[in-house]
């Protein structure tokens, strides 16, 4: 099996929304198509990848650094010796050649994007859905779940008095089959934010719960003020109260806040996750970690993260990856994670799952088609067809 | 004052050398030229920037993310209200708009590269050498040094038995006026590395000392083995024994090693530096920090790093930035740092200082020409002239 061509594209995310820190209207996404000489059922095997929202397209890094290294490698270095199929773990090693330690940012996103495409093609070449391919390789002795828990992340800030619009949005998510929902905080005054929270709680039926997300905006004092105010509500979690790398502030908040804390979507390496486990003061039996494999060097780094977390007493069930797409869904199923994020209606067509797996009672099934399932989400397939 | 054009170029570093982790032969550097409508002494004011070795060119990030934000800003947002001159601190805020927290890697390099060019043009527009411009703005009450201590970093691995070549290289540095020198370790067996160290110590005259650099390669056990072996020598420091983000391993080594430890060139944000200060167990009165402003968002972030370090008991004199060029030299002078790195003969023509400021007894003077002094290093000026 050989790679015959790799094409990349850069598309606008086209989301006119804001969290407490950034506006997404100029955000871009990298798309990757990896062509091979393998044929399955008369079709050439092509692997597709893209990356989660929140970080920008990685055209330069892919074109100038990662892909030339892949091209310079011996084709057999890329293969799994046992199966003769391209091995995404080997690819990740190769594309990271001559990179110094530290500096885990855009590089992690570029590698994660390519990793998604490599896993898509490896699973397709093996004729397996990605979640089963990952499970067989990394967790063969565990039981695969039939469904994965997902929650609807939204509740971004819009211009003006957005409460009626916010309530409409949340009701729409409930109508789509979601149970739990997440909304942004930290982009308005604490008083206004509590009003927004109460307006959402008003429309949530019994059994549905709310998470809130500050996107790392607060310093210690403000994070604690919000923590105190949030204790009044029965929230799923209070997410990213402070800078993702400020472990001490995390520890201080964890000491004060009786509810569940969540963080991790802006940690991009096993080193940063190890530091959070060592110094962040979070409670493995209670809190939630949201590292996004797609933004942080892909599956192999995520496996290392889970290993480090295990040493520190964290079970995979405490992980709910950021990202809201089928690659992270497959990873969530394969590794027995607690669930994964979803962004209904925003970050389209990248967010969301296969057309044939609607959300039912906050759970989603895994598609049985080989690969990630990108072809089984019609709007996403269309975009890939347009670009490649 | 308005920016009229910004041009970027990407050039190979063209250094056929290796440290314990990477080979530099494919490494690239971004060069930036910022054109303005300001005229000083009949010459248009142009700011030049590039970045230190070790990280790759940032064409994509500059072109697709940072520069469009600068272009979208109101011209007056870029200016210092008092002087009407472009303010690099304001520029840095603008180019980071809509960037999420965390993920400090290539983005920090791209911002640092642009920051160098902005400080070059701001100092030129003010008719001042950069070190004086920075001193006036950030440390007006401190005394400016006449010279900055520099050391010759080299001693990379070459193919084959490189000891005679290594000794020749070190003698060459001494001949150029350097006193202290630095060599790589960790790319050979510990026995061979000690032989290499002894071969260098043999050729060092009295008053000259040696530092060694493992480039973050070791795990705890190997780092401690090297620490024990290195205690036999009177070294300037033992640099980057372990992964730059592994604070706990730093602390363990600091507990065992009686000599001076150095690290920090692969920390790219104030957050990472704060964590090193909190958790790294390094000794503020003894150890050395090497954050490189050029790779880590530029001068404004470096000022924040110094503030955080001050809280933790670190004086600026314990900082010796990585990078080996005039921008970091000016920063070292302005902020009273302990000194700065230099790479004679490698990473040319980016490394090194102005033609008129030769190294004398391990010290270098600051050029009095306005700006960084890029035009006063003929080989570097030539490269900029070729590219722009």
- Please name the residues in contact with B221: beta carbons below 8 A apart, sequence gap of 6 or more: none
The answer to ipTM > 0.90 is: yes
Quick one: which of A294, A360, A299, A373 has its CA closest to A135? A299
pLDDT of residue B345: 80
- Cα nearest neighbour of A54 on chain B: B100
Which pLDDT tens digit goes with each residue over A100-122? Answer: 999 999 999 999 999 999 999 99
Which pLDDT tens digit goes with each residue over B20-73? Answer: 888 888 899 999 999 999 999 999 999 999 999 999 999 999 999 999 999 999
A87 pLDDT above the threshold of 90: yes
- B-interface mutation test, from A102, A269, A273, A304, most B Cβ less than 10 A away: A102
φ/ψ (deg, to 5) at B84: 75, 5
Which pLDDT tens digit goes with each residue over A157-214? Answer: 987 778 999 999 999 999 999 999 999 999 999 999 999 999 999 999 999 999 999 9
Hey, which residues 29-68 in chain B have their CB within 8 Å of chain A?
54-61, 63-65, 68
A25 pLDDT above the threshold of 90: no
Token couple for A283: 């409670």
Which pLDDT tens digit goes with each residue over A218-259? Answer: 999 999 999 999 999 999 999 999 999 999 999 999 999 999
The DSSP call for residue B376 is G
What is the pLDDT of chain B when averaged over all its residues?
96
**Residue B142 sits at the chain A interface (C-beta within 8 Å):** no
Contact yes or no for B5/B35 (Cβ under 8 A): yes
Q: Report the share of chain B in percent with pLDDT over 70.
A: 100
pLDDT of residue A89: 98
* Confidence label for A14 from pLDDT (cuts 50, 70 and 90): confident
- Chain A contacts of B100, Cβ < 8 Å? 21-22, 54-55, 215-216, 266
Kind of pairing between the strands at A147-153 and A363-365 = antiparallel
Do B64 and A59 count as a contact with CB atoms less than 8 A apart? yes
Q: How many helices (H) and strands (E) does chain B have?
A: 13, 11
Do B245 and A102 count as a contact with CB atoms less than 8 A apart? yes
Contact yes or no for A305/A336 (Cβ under 8 A): no
Contact yes or no for B157/B70 (Cβ under 8 A): no
Which pLDDT tens digit goes with each residue over A234-244? Answer: 999 999 999 99
Which pLDDT tens digit goes with each residue over A40-74? Answer: 999 999 999 999 999 999 999 999 999 999 999 99
Which residue among B322, B325, B376, B377 is the active-site one? B322
pLDDT of residue B16: 76
- Chain B contacts of A275, Cβ < 8 Å? 245, 247, 275, 279
Q: Measured between CB atoms, which of B57, B104, B266 is closest to A100?
A: B266
Token couple for A376: 């089984």
Helix axes A326-334 and A130-138, enclosed angle (nearest 10): 40
Q: Measured between CB atoms, which of B24, B101, B107 is closest to A266?
A: B101
Which residue among A322, A325, A376, A377 is the active-site one? A322
Q: Measured between CB atoms, which of A60, A245, A295 is closest to B61?
A: A60
Half-sphere exposure of B268 (CA within 13 A, CB side): 27
- Cα nearest neighbour of A246 on chain B: B271
Which residue among A124, A182, A184, A376 is the active-site one? A184
Whole-prediction pTM value? Answer: 0.97
* Confidence label for A150 from pLDDT (cuts 50, 70 and 90): very high
pLDDT of residue A16: 76
Do A22 and B247 count as a contact with CB atoms less than 8 A apart? no
B376 pLDDT above the threshold of 80: yes
pLDDT of residue B347: 84
Give residue for tokens 């975009």.
A383
The pairs formed by A197-206 with CB atoms below 8 angstroms and a separation of 24 or more are A197/A230, A197/A233, A199/A163, A199/A166, A199/A167, A200/A155, A200/A166, A200/A167, A200/A170, A201/A233, A202/A167, A203/A167, A203/A170, A203/A171, A203/A174, A204/A170, A204/A174, A205/A174
Hey, which residues 62-121 in chain A have their CB within 8 Å of chain B?
63-65, 68, 97-109
Which pLDDT tens digit goes with each residue over B211-270? Answer: 999 999 999 999 999 999 999 999 999 999 999 999 999 999 999 999 999 999 999 999
B349 pLDDT above the threshold of 80: yes
What's the per-residue H, E or C state across B131-197? HHHHHHHHCCCCCCCCEEEEEEECCCECCCCCHHHHHHHHHHHHHCCCCCEEEECCCCCHHHHHHHH
Do A64 and B28 count as a contact with CB atoms less than 8 A apart? yes
How large is the average pLDDT for residues B352-373? 96
- Ramachandran region of residue B336, left (φ > 0), alpha (ψ -120 to 50) or beta? left
pLDDT of residue A76: 95
pLDDT of residue A24: 84
pLDDT of residue A108: 98
B17 pLDDT above the threshold of 80: no
């Amino acid at each position: 099996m050989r790679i015959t061509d790799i094409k990349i594209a850069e598309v606008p995310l086209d989301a006119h929304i804001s969290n407490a820190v950034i506006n997404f209207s100029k955000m871009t996404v990298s798309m990757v198509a990896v062509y091979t000489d393998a044929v399955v059922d008369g079709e050439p095997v092509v692997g597709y990848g893209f990356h989660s929202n929140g970080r920008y397209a990685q055209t330069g890094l892919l074109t100038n650094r990662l892909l030339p290294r892949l091209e310079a490698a011996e084709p057999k270095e890329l293969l799994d010796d046992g199966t003769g199929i391209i091995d995404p773990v080997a690819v990740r090693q190769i594309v990271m050649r001559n990179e110094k330690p530290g500096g885990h940012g855009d590089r992690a996103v570029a590698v994660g994007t390519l990793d998604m495409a490599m896993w898509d093609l490896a699973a397709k070449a093996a004729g397996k859905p990605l979640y089963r391919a990952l499970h067989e390789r990394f967790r063969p002795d565990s039981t695969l779940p039939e469904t994965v828990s997902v929650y609807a992340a939204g509740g971004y800030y819009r211009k003006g008095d957005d409460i009626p619009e916010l309530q409409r949005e949340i009701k729409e998510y409930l109508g789509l089959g979601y149970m739990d929902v997440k909304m942004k905080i930290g982009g308005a005054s604490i008083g206004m934010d509590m009003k927004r929270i109460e307006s959402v709680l008003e429309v949530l039926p019994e059994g549905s719960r709310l998470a809130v997300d500050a996107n790392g905006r607060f310093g210690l004092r403000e994070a604690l003020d919000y923590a105190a105010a949030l204790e009044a509500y029965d929230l799923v979690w209070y997410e990213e109260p402070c800078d993702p790398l400020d472990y001490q502030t995390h520890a201080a908040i964890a000491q004060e806040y009786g509810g569940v804390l969540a963080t991790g979507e802006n940690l991009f390496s096993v080193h940063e996750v190890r530091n959070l486990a060592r110094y962040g003061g979070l409670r493995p039996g209670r809190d939630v970690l949201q590292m996004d494999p797609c933004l942080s060097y892909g599956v192999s780094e995520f496996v290392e993260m889970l290993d480090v977390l295990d040493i520190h007493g964290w079970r995979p069930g405490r992980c709910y990856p950021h990202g809201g797409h089928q690659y992270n869904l497959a990873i969530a199923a394969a590794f027995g994670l607690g669930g994964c994020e979803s962004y209904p209606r925003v970050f389209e067509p990248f967010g969301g799952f296969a057309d044939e797996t609607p959300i039912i009672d906050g759970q989603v099934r895994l598609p049985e088609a080989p690969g990630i399932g990108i072809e089984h989400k019609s709007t996403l397939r269309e975009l890939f067809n347009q670009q490649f």
